[in-house]
Every structure is written in C-alpha cells, then in structure tokens.
Structure 1
Amino acid sequence: MTVGNALIPTAAGRRRAAWCALWLGLASLLLLVLGTAVGSTGLESLTHMGDDPVARQIVWDIRLPRTLGAWLAGALLGLAGAVAQGLFRNPLADPYLLGSASGAALGGAVAMAMFGVSPVAAQWIARIGITGMAFLGAAGAVVLTLVLARGVQHTLRLLLAGVIVGVVLGALRDLVELASPDILQAMQAFILGSTAFVGWIACTLMGAAWALCALLAWVLARALDGLTLGEATAASLGLPLAPMRAGLVAAMALATGTAVAQTGLIAFVGLAAPHLVRSIVRVTHERHILLSSLMGAVLLLAADILARWMLAPQELPVGVLTAALGGTYLLWLMHRRTAHGGGL
C-alpha cells in the first residue's frame, strides 16, 4: 500500500516479500550446484571427484570459489544499486554513480603499470596489489566525490560531483594506458568483468563486506523510506538525515568497491536487480534492499554460468553478457511503461 510515494507495509506485502525471498534463495542454491558442474571439463570433474585428485581440485579450488564469488559479487552490486536508487530517488541510479568504477579502473591500471603484470598473473603478491589498488581507487573516488559535493546534504550536488569525478578519473586511466600500452589487454579484461580469478580469500572478503553492508543498510533503511516523502517531510519526522545518508553512502561505496576490486566492472546488475524486485513486490526499503541483494546475486551467478557454458571450453566475459541482457530488459521495461503511459 502507498501513501503518496511512501510505502506502508501490509500483511499481504510481507507475505509476498517472504515468498520472493524464498524463491530467490532456492534459485541461489540451484545455481550454486549448477555452477560446480559447468567448466571446460564439463561434468567429468564433478563425477570423478571421489577418485581423481585433479578433478577434486578443479571443483573445490576453482569452480566452487568462482561460483560463490559470482553470487557474492552480485549480492553486493544488487544491494548497492537498491541503496543508490533510494538515496538519489532515481530509478536510473546505479552503484557506480559516485565515481567508484572509474576509480577502481584507475587503481587497477596504476597497479598493472607498476607490477608489469595482468590480473591473471600467478604471483599472489601482484594479484593482491592489483585488487588492493582497485579497491583503494574506488574508495578514493568516493571520498573525492564527497569532498567536491561538500558532504552528503545535497543529493543533486553529490550526483553531479560523482559524474565529474568519473569522467576525470576515466581520462587519467586512459593516460596511464597510453603510457603503458602493454597493460591494454589486461585492462580490457578488467573493464569487461570476470569472475574467473576469484578464490577463497576473495570470497571471504566479499562475504564479510556483504554482511557489514547489509546490516548497515538495513539499520538505515528508514532514511530511504523517509526520503520518498521528500527532504522536508523526512526531516520533520525527526530523522537525522545527514549521518544516515553518510552511512548509506559508506555502505554503497564499500559494497561497490569490494565487488569491483574482485571481479572488475560488471554492468547493469546493480541497476536491473532493484527494478526486477519492484516488478514483483512493493515493500519498504528495509526488505527491498535485501531482496535486491538476493536478486543481484541470482542474476550475476546465472549470467556467469551462461557465460561459461555458451562457448565452452572458451567463455564470454560476464560483464558483456550482463550488459546485453540488462540493457535489453531495461529497453523492454521502458517500452512497456511508455505504452501504458508510465515511467521507469
């Protein structure tokens, strides 16, 4: 039920949200199992796990962490997308609006130029250096955006500052690539997005980040509900908007930076997941954020499995597949809403 633009929870809405969460959970379990069976060696590795140490290593050390990592990265991006759309009160907002994507790409490019290696390098020191620099770049971009916007009080100023920071850092990344042309192929892999190099350490980091961000966003979800009524009304309700906004921006930045540092730039998951949830059930942000996180996890894991399976034993970059599918879905949604006289 809605009053103005604000949602009031009802028993029917809560039941529908619970069913949605259940179905997304079951889909996650099914896809996690399916993910262990998809790879260059097909089902052979899965069926010979008991008597073949190589097959066991392929499943436990490569497929399982990759599959779980895709789920966690999608969960982080879905959560960040729901927070971004609620915070900016714009259904077209995505997790990269504060410049985190450009910052992560710049950090990764600088690290590759320094180490002279690609993300597929076997040296674990180089690998940690690239992901660490990507995360620092994403965090630095968000901090720079906040400085330019003079805090989080003005949403429009924050949005404009994020766009400017993204453009400037993107130009700096181009300069780094021109100065070190040997990293161009590696940067292409980073920009297109891939879960191929996610290991158990990355899964642990993303799992911890998801738990922290989900808790923080859930606690501060009242601010997003209040903002649907407008800034003045939200302030009149006694909500401390400035610190709550700061906490939500921190959750969005941490979720986005962690996912991008481990998997590269994966498009449309954070944008499409909240839209899909809204098309199924309309609930308060407290539930919407968690459902969007589950939806993002299912979307990215399904896309990753499809990317591995379509051209096996080769594979497509998962970011290309999510961009194609996500863009097609949003175009269809825009056409449907326009035909019915509505908007996104």
Structure 2
Amino acid sequence: MAITPLAPLDRTSPTFRTDVDNFFGSAIPAFVGQANALAANLNSIAAGGAYAIPYKLGVGSDVGYGNGFFALNGSALSSTEMYVDNTDLRGINLANVLYSTTEGNTSSVKGHIRLTVINRPTAWALFRVTALLSITDPARPYKVFSIAPIDASEPFPFSAGEAVEVSFQRTGDKGDAGSLTTVLWVRDVKGSGQSAGTTANTQRRTLNTVKRNTIPGASLSGDVITVPPGTYRLSASAPAYSSGRHRAYASITVGGVTTSIEGQTANGSAPSAIQMSEFLAGSTASISIQHMFDTWNVPNGLGLALGLGGEEVYTDVFIEKVS
C-alpha cells in the first residue's frame, strides 16, 4: 500500500495552531496506521504469505519503463511467460519483492499468480509459477516469470490498459499444490434467449452451474453454496437491466450466525460487483448471493438475454480456499 506523505507545517500561517492540532491529532495517527499496515504486509511477504499488487495490462513493449504494466505472451489459457514491471501502478518499486517470489524455493512449482480485474472481480486467470527467468540481476526494470495456466474465466478476460490485481503466493519447499488451486466457481447459466428474471425488493440470485470445484466437501444446491471450515476469499458479480439503483451482497451463514460481504452499488444496467474479500468459516458455511433493488417488478431486470445462440450467463461467483 502507498503511505500518504506528511504535509509540512507553515509557521507563518494564521491557522498554524489549528494545523498543529490536526497534524498530531489526525495526520500522525493516519501515517502510523499506514506504516503499520505496510509492515504487516511486508512481514507476510517475508513469511511466504500471499500479497496483491495493482498493475495494468499492456503488451511486452510497455513493460520495463516504470509505468506499472504487466503482459502475457499469449491468452490466459496458453501463456508460458509473464512480464511484470518492477514498479507497480502506485509508483512503488517492488523489484526485491518480485525477486523473493521464487528465491530459495526448491519446489518445482514456485508459487501461484492470480490475475483479477479490479472493477470486474469475476474476470480472472490463475497460473502456476515454475521459474523466475534471468534472475541474476534483481535490479533489472522488469521480471519475467515462467508460468503454466491452470484456469481462467475466459481465454482473454482482460482489456489493454485495464487495472488488474496481481496476487502472488509462494509455495513452500514441501508440496507443490499450493492453496490457490483450491477453488469453487459457480454461475447462473441459462439457454439462449432466456433472461434472468424480474426484480423484487431483495431476492436470492440463481446459481445452477458448477464450472470448477477443487475444494473437498464444497457443493452447490438450490442456489446455495456450501463450503467446509476454513479461510476463503470470495468475489462475485450480479447483472441487472434498467433496474434503477441496486446492490448485490454475499450472505454467509456459519453456526447459525449470518454475516454479509457487501457489493458495489450500481445503477441501471451496470452489474454490481463484490470485490475480492476474505472470510473465516469456523464450521460449515452456507453462502448465497442476494440482490437488493430500489425499482421492483422490472421485466428482465435481473439480466437481459442476448439471444444469438450459446449460453446466457448471469450471476458469477468465485471462491478460493486459502487455508
């Protein structure tokens, strides 16, 4: 994360006394909080934990100029190399952090990289990292990772210049599987020409198709996802059509207690996205996607079909088991 610089105080200012009070009462505590958060993130990295860095998608010639680009040498399902600027989208130089993702790791799979569009969390790709190429110079302006695709939401889930969260997780010296391969991906899939339905005040979104499930004990039944105890990350997207203001949220019930992960408020035909969020399930968890609307009884308000052949895809949920 970026740390906000402390603004200098002007002794000649007529508001100097008030500025001093604000400096010590709010600016310093905010600075300390940001520094502590950064320290915790760096400690997680040093311990081999997962961490996420913002970049934007470019082509190979964009990478290496300190502008926060990354690039692939193919589609999300065929790429064998990934190029990553030492400097991220915030202007922070992370050369040594990127270098540490594989340094000293004796496993054949060094770790995993997950790419997620920041404003479209159901657009994603997942890769194994097998090597960091040309690592003799940690200060080179970009890094080249040798990768192997695992899965993706589609072959080309990202657009040029789009902001993408690049999540790294090292694999330990024992066990090549890694936690990011343990995922559950479910959708609402309907036939060509079939819309998603009419809006109500608050309603549970349909989930009827499992695209991928590698979480032992996880299942989908009656629009409800069930996962065993553990720590998880969840992201989702729920569409709408001419439906006024609306917001989706994940409803999570564990041991009879229900909590929620709120999505972004959207308007009209824009989807409501639930950004990647972490939750802990001390026992078996039941998860559904609920959707609130301020305009009810809109025909096709839950999503309008294209009707040109192929599947119509509506609500999309991605869950990964961290531990």
TM-score bin, normalised by smaller chain? under 0.3
Larger Rg: 2
TM score, norm. by length of structure 2: 0.23
TM score, norm. by length of structure 1: 0.22
More helix by share: 1
